[in-house]
Structure 1
Amino acid sequence: MSSPDADAAPVYLVFGATGGIGSALSRRLAARGARLVVAARDADRLRAFAAEIGAEPHPVDATRFDDATACAEAAVQRFGRLDGVANCVGSLLLKPAHTTTEDEWAATVAANLTSAFAVLRAAAKAVTAPGGSVVLVSSAAARVGLMNHEAISAAKAGVIGLTLSAAATYAPRGIRVNCVAPGLVRTPMTARLTANEASLKASTAMHALGRVGDPDDVAGAIEWLLGPESGWVTGQVLGVDGGLATVRPR
């Protein structure tokens, strides 16, 4: 039987929990005593991670509406409430439009925009109101023109539009919707870029603060947007990008 303090702890659901940013966020939320449901496609990897941090695993394909909805419903059924949902599912495709295949385009939109819509749709039905929070992940590439980013920029720009509209839709219910827009972050997904010395040097030079990001840089921002500390914040695109989208280093 849970203690009264445990029952009062917030309940969060993290999609894409085994990725670089998603795992950092999950660890942070678990460390602060939150009750946590973690979701990802790789069931074995997810269960091992959940056991490590003391979370409830729920294997899911976040690009499927029914899967995302069932996951959110399972979180409510397990804990009796759901205070916040974060979608950290995503992919990275760096190609000019004329060499991007139809399959690559569809996969990029599915991983980045369809997953965001499916998670938001599920969260809007399940998040405890008022005071609930939904956080999506866009990209600095949706806010500034970067070469060879056409597909990922378009998908991530869609996440920004989705965030703004949903924030207006669900504000009367007390549900806040925000997104973060990271620059280049060192994760397994970006290893091909960050492991290449020339590519890393060029990318670092584009970030005014003189370094690329770490997963905790972004996870800390998402954690804040999920929690009550940001209770008067909605419809915002928070650039966690070392200045990439807005500042030009000399």
Structure 2
Amino acid sequence: MPVAIVIGATGGIGAAIARLLASRGYRLLLVSHSEEKLQAFAGELDVQYFTADATQFDEVEAAAKHAQDLFGHVDSIVNCVGSLILKPAHLTSQKELNSTISLNLNTAFAAIRAANAVLRDSGGSVVLFSSAAARVGLANHEAIAAAKGAIEGLVKSAAATYAGKKIRVNAIAPGLIETPLTEAIWSRPRSAEASKAMHPLGRLGKPEDCASLACWLVDPQNSWITGQIIGVDGGLATLKTS
């Protein structure tokens, strides 16, 4: 059976990915910094878990090696850790920027390093997360756009570096997804309607929209796809309808 590591598994998107992979017969190692939430969710799915700070390279690599020891091999790593900050640059503190870079870029970089450690012999798939904000200019998104833009560069470079080892690296770039992280936006009727209007398909995304693509990307049947940034954004980053 295939083996996947889901980092940030207790978040809205991470949990949806874990549920879908589990339903398709994957053996899973769920990774998060919150042991209480992680233990409960892993128990719900009857899968393994590992507590780690995903911003720390050594802890992510330890999680990956733990999965390898448990299952004998690893096929995929999906990193769903991220954050959201909506402020113009002049109101964003250095601490806030550093935190945004750490939670987004550093965790993605850590996943790539861990993939080299456990996928280098037989290849596999790494799925990271960018954002529509890195692909189209959105006001007050400077910090998150910078961090996610860096991830897009990382995807392309790492895909080239590790192609010879048959390690595929791709990213999903969502629009606004209804998760606990974004609840302050979609839970208020006026901001929810304004956000829907920005997405040409007229609705906000669900975690399952991202999960279905993540599972498709890790599927070995799609092993000729690497270095891609794929939007799951209702057309936000590429379409203008008025």
TM-score, shorter chain, exceeding 0.5: yes
What is the 5 A alignment of 1:172-191?
Answer: 172-191=164-183
4+ runs of 1 displaced by more than 6 Å?
A: none
Shift of 1:141: 0.3
Counterpart of 2:209 in structure 1 is: 217
Answer yes or no: is 1:208 the counterpart of 2:207: no
Answer yes or no: is 1:35 the counterpart of 2:27: yes
Matched residues, number: 242
Alignment root-mean-square deviation, CA: 0.8
Opposite residue 247 of structure 1, the aligned amino acid is: L
Contact 1:182 1:218 in 2 (8 A): yes
Contact 1:13 1:37 in 2 (8 A): yes
What is the 5 A alignment of 1:86-235?
Answer: 86-127=78-119, 129-235=121-227
Shift of 1:89: 0.2
Contact 1:131 1:228 in 2 (8 A): no
Shift of 1:130: 3.6
Counterpart of 1:75 in structure 2 is: 67
Contact 1:131 1:231 in 2 (8 A): no
Shift of 1:229: 2.5
Contact 1:206 1:249 in 2 (8 A): no
- Unaligned 5+ residue runs, structure 1? 1-8
Distance change >3 Å, CA 128–CA 28, structure 1 → 2? farther
User: Partners in 1 of 2:184 and 2:55 — Cα distance?
Assistant: 24
**Identity between Structure 1 and Structure 2 (%):** 52
Counterpart of 2:53 in structure 1 is: 61
Question: 1:36-66: per-residue Cα shift (whole Å, max 9, x none)?
Answer: 0000010011000001001101011000011
- Unaligned 5+ residue runs, structure 2? none
Question: What TM-score results when the alignment is normalised by the length of structure 2?
Answer: 0.98
